[in-house]
Every structure is written in structure tokens, then in C-alpha cells.
Amino acid sequence: MARTPAKTPSGKAASLHDQTLVRGTGGELHQIAEGDTEILTTSQGAPVADDQNTLKIGQRGPTLIEDFHFREKIFHFDHERIPERVVHARGYGAHGYFETYDSLAKYTRADIFQRAGEKTPAFVRFSTVAGSKGSFDLARDVRGFAVKLYTKEGNWDIVGNNIPVFFIQDAIKFPDMVHAVKEEPDRAFPQAQSAHDNFWDFISLTPESMHMIMWVMSDRAIPRSYRFMEGFGVHTFRFLNAKDESTFVKFLWKPKLGLQSVVWNEAVKINGADPDFHRRDLWDAIQAGDFPEWELCVQLFDQEFADGFDFDILDPTKIIPEEIIEPIPVGRLVLDRMPDNFFAETEQVAFMTQNVPPGVDFSNDPLLQGRNFSYLDTQLKRLGGPNFTHIPINAPKCPMHHFQQDGHMAMRNPVGRANYQPNSWGLGPREHPQKGFRSFADAEEGQKVRLRAESFADHYSQARQFFVSQTVTEQKHIAMALTFELSKVETPVIRERMVSHLLNIDEGLAETVAEKLGMKTLPKKADAAVAPRDDLPASDALSIVKNGPDSFKGRKVGVLVSDGCDGALVKTLEAALGKEGAMMEIVAPRVGGVEASDGSIIEGKQMIDGGPSVLYDAVAIIISPEGADQLLKEATARDFVADAFAHCKFIAHVKAAQPLLDKAGVEPDEGVMVLDGAADVAGFVESCRKLRLWAREMKVKL
């Protein structure tokens, strides 16, 4: 069979999503010649003649044990599943690269940061935390943001989240925290939700969680897309330069497309309409060549600077505000290729915080120290043996030489006589004191104790700082989220305990939540180990709304059309959105499409029932008077418009759509605009850059 290795026109490696490609035994991609079909074989390579019927005695007789093809096929199927991750089970990954901006040799000897323009292959997996593998994407939850950088000095994993702080300060509490948030063990629900007694019971008994709780109750926990969220390494790490001098470092990923989240009512509806909303979004963007990009930023500081803080830089429930240490961009991460196979890559990828190259080192953050212990263990359990680094997605892309051998599924073993060192034959690799990994020689001394440092005791000041840094809209969303979550808590004392913590964060917030929960009196403030500070200044970097995009790029407009609509206007809108780098999706009464007034056929991507407006960032309604008559009788069409309005989205419509808007309860405001020609289209696209008209929220109850 003649095959030629495949490349895209840009010269980039082609992907197996092109159905005319097959993977060769060496991993290379080949184009299948027309009319050329591969012969089905068993796993042992024996060609198969019949894959439709088991081997039987006679046409209606019993199946024979001799049917090795059937036995192998069913055996393999029965063993297809591996344990899902105990947390972060639901995730989605993509390949890409990291490009270094400038040499950071002054701070770190890590090879990846030595040369400007250096490109390092990367794999990223985004995830939710609490839900199982098949749960929905828009759960209110932290998002995992795990990056594997295949550096020339081994894999470097930055296993972070989209929130810069964590629930707990010491890793020994991790199993308790995770047990509390996951489904309750007797009833096995609720799934992928924190709105239940066990979670809030644990949280209300764990004051150190309060800062994290403010983030999780904010819209950060319901991102619009993985592409529009930040990532954080959370802990303080160290950079070590060639002289082994240490600089503390925090890692932050900033999305080029700006931040964006959805509102809770939207999240709930998206989960029903498209539980795969986030993975589909990433898939669609990458397949369309609209590659998402983040900048890696670092906050650098030394011990003296760290000593000046009120809080401890080893405490993972604290941030260093960006106004105090400005994040410096040091490179960019671009995701440009989806995995060929979800299981092989996204499911089997094994991230480990302890994977760091020479020049990057750990701090004594007790959460990080515990994580370094945990991740190796979990991979052994999940992937079934110690050789998981032989799996291509986990294998370093630099040379490896070591004497680890044998074990389940060993794909590589040391060759030659010597499988140990030192040996008398001068065989095999030896360590290299200069090039090898060296830990920072920190002086450690003390008694063996189980204690929480006093410097970790302030649990409320930064929680308050986060709250006061939000816009009024965002503060309202936090209050609504807390109310919603606590309304699902059946035990009154847990609700009260939470409100008593909120009183230490912001009295107005506590009062709103208490009132909305129907509490007759406010509980007393929770005892605080350290008096909360109320003078920490607001930080704009903490708000999503203040860090939105400057264009509508990467966003999507849903266009509701009907027979007899203005086809030219649809095309003008499509062109204007294309110019902006945004997408458009046609929502029609039938996917087969509608016939526009000029006789052209506009194909529907979604039927109205399958394309509610929650799937879009803005909507346009381009229908004929007859279409309006028809659609206003349909609940899904009315919901399309009513939800877009309630979710504060920009709505453009032709005059003929007015009856549908009236029926949906839309009140005129600056976010509802008439499309009367090309000039109006430009104005609409420009307005969409603001993403939402939050001023409308006062009018609509979300």
C-alpha cells in the first residue's frame, strides 16, 4: 500500500481528525489512497474475515470457545475502563506550544527560559473538580488548568487552577475537603455540585476556606469558555539561577481573549442544552484555526520582600495582589491541535506537581509538599503500573537514561549488561552535578510538630479584599450564589455558621444572604483568630468584568432566521463578525434551512429547540413578518429572546421581529438595537465587545 507522510498546507503536522489519514507503526501520519481500505485484524495481527457473526455450530447453534477473535474482542472491551481521576475526573485537553519571550537566566537556569523565541511542546488539560467523568461542563466549580511542558530537561508540569487560592492550607485536609464536596456517600448525590449540606458543613467549620469560597461563589466558577479564563500555579515556587540563588515565583496564565463568565441561570440552562459546552467550544475554536492563547506571567520576589507581607507566602489561601507585584509576561502558550484520541492522550495524561526541571524548585507550602507526595501515587493507581511514563503523552521528548526496568507493560528496558551504577564497565548513564537538578539548600531546623503556623491565621482579610474588588454586578452575583447554595442546605445551623463567617468579610453581603435565606436575626460574627483587616485596597485584577476583552474575537452570535428573511442582511452580519474574528451560528425553525426573500437558502446549524440563546454571546433576530407571526407562538423562540434579554446580552433585530420581542417581554434599552442596514450591523458588533449590558440586570431578576 503506497502512502505518503501527510502535512497540512502550512507544513504543520496533520491530524487524524482528517478521515483520510491513518497512523503508521512509527507514529507517522499517512494519507490513505482512494479506494484503499485497511484490512481488519485481531490485536495479534491476524486478518479477520467476518466481524459480524460469532463462530457457531450450525446457523442457530451454540458459540464455540474456539472463536479467538470474538474472545479477544469482548475481553478487550470488558477491560476498556480505567479508574477515573479521584478529583478532576471530567476534563478536556489540547496540544500546543510554549514560546519563551526573553532569557530569564538572571533568575532561573531552567533551559526553557534561556533563549528568546524557544518553542517547547505543551499539552494542557482543563477540568472541573467535583463531578465524575460524564458530568456537565457548567457546574459551579473550580476549573483545573494543568500544563505539561515537554522541556529539553524533562517534563515540567504546572498543575494549577483557574483560581489562585485553595480551600485548605495543609494537604492532610485534602481527603476531607474532597469527600465533603463530592456526592454524599449514603445517597450518592448531588453530583458535580457543592450545593449540599456536607460541603457547607465542612466549609463552615473551616475558616481558612473563606477566601476560596468568595472566588468559588463568584462568576469565576462558571466560565464562559476555557479560552476566557486565567490559570494560576497557586503556590509560591522558587527559581534557581546558575549560581543557585533563589527568587520566589508565582505563575499566572492570562488569556489573550480576556476574561468572561456566564451567569448562573445561564449555566443551569447550558448544562441541559449542551453538557459538553466547554469541550465543544475548545474543539470548535481549534478546528477552525482560532487557536487560544495565554501569556505566562511571573510574580518575582525575594525573601526580604516576602517578610514584609502580613500574610505568609507559603500559605496557599493567599494571593499577592498584582498591584503589589506586577506580573511579568515571560512567554505565550498556544493551543493548536486536538488529540487524535481522547483516551490515549487526555485520559492517560499524568500530571504531577513534582515534575520540575533544574532551575525550578518548591517552597515549603504545606499543600504543595503534600501534593508532591500524592500525584505519583494516583498515577500508579489510575494507569496500572510504574511504567506510565512509557505512554507517549507522558514520555518526555528529551533523551532519558536511567536504570529503572521491568514492571507491567514495560515498553523500554535498559540495554546491555549493566543495569546498575557504579559499574566496572563504565556502562550506562551517570549523574551530572552541574547539569542535574539541585534543590535549594535552605537551612531547616526545628522540632517535629503538628502545628499550623501563626502566620497562616488570617482567614478573612483577603476574602474581604476580593469582595470589595468586584463591580456591583459581580458582588450581586456572589450574594446570589451564596444564597442559592445555602438554600440547598437543609440544616439551619450550617446556614447560620456560614453567615457568621460572612459577617467577618462584608456585613452588607452577610445581611443580604441572611435576608434572602429568610433568617429572622443575624447570627453573631464567627470568632476570628486574627482581627480581619478592612483596609486592604481593592484590586482591579480580581474582577472579571474589569478584565474583559477589547474585541468580540472568539465569541459567537446566534442568528434566529425564518423563511422570507433578509438574506443580504444575514450575509452582511456574517462578514462583519468574520472581520471581528467572531463566529455566527444560524438558528432556524428547521436545520434544513429557510428560504430568504431573495430566494437563497440559509442552512440552519441548529433547530430552535437545539440552539437556545444561552449558547451564544449575543443574538440577532432576522425574520420576516410571517416568520414573527409563526415564531411568537413557539415557546422555544420566545425563550430564545427572553433569555438573551434576561442574561443582559446584546440583541439586534429587524423591525419585523418586534411582535416576537414584545411577546418575550423585551423592554427597549441601549442593548436592544434595530438592524436596518449595514451601518447598524457595524454598531451592533461594536456594542457586542462589551459582552453584556450589566445595567439591565437591575430590571431583570436573574
Binding-site residues for heme: 85, 125, 174, 371, 375, 382
Nearer to ligand HDD, 108 or 236 (CB): 236
Q: Is 161 a catalytic residue?
A: yes
Nearest approach in angstroms of CB 234 to ligand HDD is 4
Q: Does 367 bind ligand HDD (CB under 6 A)?
A: yes
Question: Among residues 70, 291, 342, 375, which is the contact residue for ligand HDD, using CB under 6 A?
Answer: 375
* Helical H segments across 595-657, by residue range: 625-631, 635-646
Least Å distance, CB 353 to ligand HDD, is: 8
Nearer of residues 315 and 580 to ligand HDD, judged by Cβ = 315
Closest CB 364 distance from ligand HDD, rounded Å? 14
Do 200 and 489 touch, CB atoms closer than 8 A? yes
Please count the other Cβ atoms lying within 10 Å of the Cβ belonging to residue 637. 25
For ligand HDD, the closer CB: 374 or 487: 374
- Binding to ligand HDD by residue 174, rule CB under 6 A? yes
Long-range contacts for 493-499 (Cβ within 8 Å, ≥24 apart)? 494/197, 494/200, 494/201, 494/204, 495/200, 495/519, 496/523, 497/204, 497/205, 497/523, 497/526, 498/200, 498/203, 498/204, 499/523
Q: How far is the CB of 294 from ligand HDD (least distance, A)?
A: 15
Measure the CA–CA gap between 487 and 505, rounded to whole angstroms: 20
**Binder to ligand HDD among 125, 238, 332, 495 (CB under 6 A)?**
125
- Of residues 364, 378, 419, 636, which one binds ligand HDD by CB under 6 A? 378
659 scored as a contact of ligand HDD (CB under 6 A):
no
Report the DSSP pairing between strands 154-161 and 143-151. antiparallel
Among positions 43-102, residues that touch ligand HDD (CB under 6 A) are 85-88, 91
Nearer to ligand HDD among residue 374 and residue 630 (C-beta)? 374
Of 6, 139, 158, 159, the one binding ligand HDD (CB under 6 A) is 159
Cβ-closest position to ligand HDD: 144
Alpha helices in 414-558 (DSSP H): 461-468, 472-487, 492-505, 507-516
CB 480 within 8 A of CB 553: no
Q: Which of 374, 419, 471, 551 binds ligand HDD (CB under 6 A)?
A: 374
Q: Which of 69, 95, 155, 161 is catalytic?
A: 161
Answer for the pair 315, 455: CB distance below 8 angstroms, yes or no: yes
Least distance (Å) between residue 173 CB and ligand HDD: 8
378 or 483, CB closer to ligand HDD? 378
Q: Kindly indicate which of the ranges 75-83, 212-220, 283-291, 363-371 contains the residues binding ligand HDD, using the contact rule CB under 6 A.
A: 363-371
146 binds ligand HDD (CB under 6 A): yes
Instruction: Output 91 or 327, the one with its CB closest to ligand HDD.
Output: 91
Cell output for 183: 456526592
| CA distances (Å), origin 628, targets 15, 200, 596 | 44, 47, 14
Binding ligand HDD by CB under 6 A: which of 109, 254, 332, 371?
371
CA distances from 288 to 125, 494, 533, 554, 578 (A): 19, 48, 48, 10, 12
Answer yes or no whether residue 127 interacts with ligand HDD by CB under 6 A.
yes
Q: How far is the CB of 217 from ligand HDD (least distance, A)?
A: 18
Say if residues 100 and 286 touch (Cβ distance below 8 Å).
no
Q: Could you identify the residue written with the cell 456537565?
A: 136
- CB of 93 or CB of 258, closer to ligand HDD: 93
- Measured from the CB atom, the residue of 316 and 567 that comes closer to ligand HDD is 316
Helix pair 264-273, 635-646: axis angle to 10 deg: 150
Q: Is 476 exposed, middle or buried (0-12, 13-18, 19+ CB in 10 A)?
A: middle
The kind and range of the H/E element at 33 are none
Which residues are annotated binding-site positions?
Answer: 85, 125, 174, 371, 375, 382
User: Binding mask 306-345 vs ligand HDD (x if CB under 6 A, - otherwise)?
Assistant: ----------x-----------------------------
Stretch that binds ligand HDD, among 159-167, 261-269, 453-461, 479-487 (CB under 6 A): 159-167
Question: Is residue 372 annotated as a catalytic residue, yes or no?
Answer: no
Query: Between the CA of residue 660 and those of 98, 627, 636, 654, 666, what are the distances in Å?
Result: 48, 9, 11, 11, 9
Which residue in 88, 196, 235, 653 is the catalytic one?
88
Residues 396-435 that bind ligand HDD (CB under 6 A): none
Nearer to ligand HDD, 109 or 371 (CB): 371
Other Cβ atoms less than 10 A from the Cβ of 409: the count is 12
Query: Cβ 315 to ligand HDD, closest distance in Å?
Result: 11
In the complex, least distance from residue 123 CB atom to ligand HDD, rounded to whole angstroms: 10
Q: Indicate which single residue of 370, 386, 414, 659 sits in contact with ligand HDD (rule: CB under 6 A).
A: 370
Determine how β-strand 237-240 pairs with β-strand 246-255.
Answer: antiparallel
Residue count, binding to ligand HDD (CB under 6 A): 25
Contacts of residue 322, Cβ cutoff 8 Å, sequence gap at least 6: 299, 539, 541
- Note whether 239 and 314 are within 8 A (CB): no
Q: Measured between alpha carbons, how far is 382 from 395 in angstroms, rounded to an integer?
A: 16
User: Does 160 help bind ligand HDD (rule: CB under 6 A)?
Assistant: yes
The conformation of residue 542, written as its DSSP 8-state character, comes to G
* CB 606, CB 587: distance < 8 Å: yes
| Measured distance CA(175)–CA(377) in Å, rounded | 14
Instruction: Count helices and strands (H / E) in the chain.
Output: 18, 20
The Cβ-side half-sphere exposure at 64, using a 13 Å CA radius, reads 10
Residues from 226 through 285 that contact ligand HDD (CB under 6 A): 234
Site of interaction with ligand HDD (CB under 6 A): 85-88, 91, 125, 127, 144, 146, 159-161, 166, 171, 174, 234, 316, 349, 351, 367, 370-371, 374-375, 378
Question: Which of the residues are catalytic?
Answer: 88, 161
